Amino acid sequence: MEVSIKKGAFHKPESPDEKPYLIGSRCSSCGYMCFPKKEVCVKCVRDDCMEEKKFGPYARLDSYAVIQVAPTGFTAPYIQAYVVLEDGPKIFTLITGCEPRDDALEPGQKMELVIEKIRDDEKGNSLIGWKFKPVEEKNKS
């Protein structure tokens, strides 16, 4: 069975022409953004200013590292990263769609959201969550 790693945090496309997106929050008072959703703004410390906001599907790579020794449920090597969502916050993610090499990616490069399996849980369910993959940028000089 497919189980979401965090309920209500993302939309998984139902058809090929749909794009996935993440569901977070934006403060209508100060502009602070976060993912996943929060009901309180940590900058204003108010509970009446957060609005739901969809993020994606693009982001820029902030930093990454290739993990060679995997924790339970994961197979090394794999890439963990931070990406900055387009018009959104910096978030933790796993990387897919490229070789897990130490020179596979370049900070600042464009990444695209994919919703796929993260790992199996203890009950044998497929845990589904967000990952990002590198995208070819056109007109790159």
Partner 1 sequence: MRHVCIVGTGMHKFGKFLDKSLKDITKTAVWEAIHDADIDARAIQAAYFGNATGGLTIGQEAIRGHVMLRHAGFEGIPIVNVEGACASATIALREAVLAIKSGVYDVVLAVGAEKMYLDDTARSIAAMSTNSDVEIMGGMGFQFSASYAMTLRKYMKKYGWTQEHFAKVASKNKYNGSLNPLAQYQKPISVENILNSRLITWPLTLYMCSTMADGAAAAIVCSEDFARDNGMDFITIAACCLRSGELGEDDDGQRHIAKEAYEVADLGPEDIELAEVHDAMAPGEMFRIEKLGFCTPEKMGELVDNGYFSLKGDLPVNSSGGLAARGHPIGATGLAQIHELVTQMRGRAGARQVRGKSSEFPRLALAQNAGGYVDGSPAALTVTILKR
Q: Is residue 40 a contact residue for Zn ion (CB under 5 A)?
A: no
- Residues 62-91 interacting with partner 1 (rule: CB under 8 A): 63-74, 78, 80-82, 90-91
d(CA 64, CA 46): 33
Q: How far is the CB of 74 from partner 1 (least distance, A)?
A: 5
In one letter, which amino acid is 23? Answer: I
Q: How far is the CB of 96 from partner 1 (least distance, A)?
A: 12
Q: Is residue 30 a contact residue for partner 1 (CB under 8 A)?
A: no
Q: What is the DSSP letter of 47?
A: S
Q: Residue 89 corresponds to which tokens in the numbers above?
A: 């916050």
Q: Single out the segment in contact with Zn ion by CB under 5 A; choices: 17-25, 39-47, 59-67, 102-110.
A: 39-47
For the window 46-65, what string marks contact with partner 1 as x by the rule CB under 8 A? Answer: -----------------xxx
Which of 11, 32, 62, 77 is in the footprint of Zn ion by CB under 5 A? 32
What DSSP line would sit under 57-115, residue for residue? SEEEEEEEEEESSPPTT--SSEEEEEEEETTS-EEEEEE-SS---TTS--TT-EEEEEE
- Residues 8-27 interacting with partner 1 (rule: CB under 8 A): none
Using CB atoms within 10 A of its CB, is residue 131 exposed (0-12), middle (13-18) or buried (19+)?
Answer: buried
**Is the previous residue joined to 13 through a cis bond, with omega within 30 degrees of 0?**
no
Binding residues for partner 1 (CB under 8 A): 5-6, 34, 36, 42, 63-74, 78, 80-82, 90-94, 102, 107, 118-119, 127, 129
